[in-house]
Structure 1
Amino acid sequence: MADAGVRPARRGDAAAVADIQVRAWRHGYRDLLPEGVLDRVTGPEAAEAWRERWRQAATDPPSPRHRLLVAVASDLVVGFAAHAPAEDPDLDPAATAELITLLVDPVHARAGHGSRLLAATADILREDGFRTLVTWTFEDDEVTRTFLGSAGWAPDGTARTLDMGEPIRQIRLHTDISDR
C-alpha cells in the first residue's frame, strides 16, 4: 500500500482516534471483558471523553516524551499508538517506555498498519534514548500476544489483576529496542 504511513497525531485526528478505539475495543475485547463493562467504556459518553483525551494527547501531551501517532492510508486515519515513559515502580522511566495502546480499525486490520505503528514507535523511542518497551495486555488476548510475539515481545513475568466487576488478569510484555 504505497499511500500508507505513520505520522504524529494532529488535533483534528482526535475524533477518528476515539472512533477507532471504540470500534477496535468492541471487536477485540467483546469476549475478554465482563458483560456491561465494554458498553460503559465504549458508549456515547465514554466516546466523547476519549475524543477529549486524544485531542489533549495530540496537542498538549504531559511531556515531550509522550506521543500519539496515527497510521494513515489515503489520508484516512486507520490506527493509532500512544507511548510514554514507563510508570511502573519497578521500571526505570529514563530507559523504559510503555506502549500505552496500539489499535487499528478492524475494517483496516491485517494491512500492515499495526506493524508500521509498532516500528515507528520503536524508532522514536530509540531516538529518545529508551532501551526497553513494555505494554500491558489482557492475559487471554491471544490476538495481541501473537502480534507482539511475532515482533519479538515476550512476557516479563509481571502480572496485575484489574477489578472490572470481576477480576481480569493482565500480563506485562517487553521487548528490547536498543540498537544492537
Structure 2
Amino acid sequence: MMMLFSEHADVSVRPAIPGDAQAFVAIQLDAWQANLAGVVSPDLRESFDESAIEAQWKESIQAPAGQGLGVLTALKADKVVGFVAVAPATIVALEVSPEYWRQGHGSRLLTAAVDRLRRDGSTQFSVWVPATATGKQEFYASAGLARDGRVRHLGVSEGVEVVEERWAADL
C-alpha cells in the first residue's frame, strides 16, 4: 500500500475548550510582549496574575457573557498555537504564538471569526490594533481591513500607555 504525505502541516481551527485556557495565557502574553516591544518593559509579564487570566479564559469559553460571544482555537497538529475571541461585530482578540507567526494560523482564525460574525448577522466588524504593532497592521490590511479613525489609549502599567487604532471592514 502506497502512503501519500502532504506537504502541508496538520492545521485546523475549532471551538475552544476549557483545556485551551492555559495555552491562551502564554500565547496572549507572548504576543503582547512581541507586539509591544519597545513600548512595554520586557518584565511586564511578571505583573500579570496568569492564574486569574486563565480563569477568565475558562469562563469565556464555558459560559460566554452574552449572545454572539465565542472563542475559537488554532491548532498545529494537537498543539494550541492561537485563538480568536468574537463578540457581535467585533473581534475582541486574535493572537498567535510568535513562534507560529506567518504560517497561516492568523488567516485561518480571521476567516473562522468572519464566518461566525456573518452567521450571527453582523454586516461589518472591527478590531483594535496597537499603533506600534506593524506586523498586525500589515496582516489586517492584507485581509481588507482599514483604520477607521478611532483611537484609544490604554494604561498598561504606571506611566506606560498603549495607543490602539480601530480597524474595520464590511462583511
Q: Report the TM-score when normalising by structure 2.
A: 0.87
| 1:44 CA drift (Å) | 7.0
Q: Paired residue for 1:27?
A: 34
Answering whether residue 11 of structure 2 is matched by residue 4 of structure 1, we say yes
Q: Cα RMSD between the aligned structures?
A: 1.7
The residue type paired with residue 32 of structure 2 is: W
Determine whether 1:72 maps to 2:75.
Answer: yes
**TM-score, with length taken from structure 1:** 0.83
Runs of 4 or more, structure 1, over 3 Å off, are none
- The answer to whether the 8 Å contact 1:32/1:141 transfers is no
Deviation at 1:149, TM superposition (A): 0.3
Q: Which runs of 5+ in 2 are unaligned?
A: 1-7
Amino acid at match of 1:20: I
The count of corresponding residues between Structure 1 and Structure 2 is 162
Residue 152 in 1 paired to residue 144 in 2? yes
Q: Corresponding residue for 1:137?
A: 129
Q: What residue is the counterpart of 2:95 in the other structure?
A: 103
Q: Give the structure 2 partner of residue 93 of structure 1.
A: none
Amino acid at match of 1:134: S
Conserved in 1, the CA contact under 8 Å of 2:20 and 2:80? yes
Given the superposition, is the C-alpha separation of residues 76 and 168 from structure 1 closer, same or farther in structure 2, using an over 3 Å criterion? closer
8 Å contact 2:25–2:53 — kept in the other structure? yes
Any gaps of 5 or more consecutive residues in structure 1?
86-96
- State the Cα distance separating 1:172 from its structure 2 match: 0.7
Please give the per-residue CA displacement for 1:102-144, whole angstroms capped at 9, x wherever unaligned. Answer: 1111121211000000000000110110011101111222111
Question: Percent same amino acid among aligned pairs?
Answer: 36
**How big is the shift at 1:152?**
0.3
Q: Which has the larger radius of gyration?
A: 2
CA offsets 1:23-48 (integer angstroms, 9 cap, x no match):
22222222233x3xx634x2275221
Alignment of 1:26-65 (within 5 A): 26-33=33-40, 35=41, 39-40=43-44, 42-43=45-46, 45-65=48-68
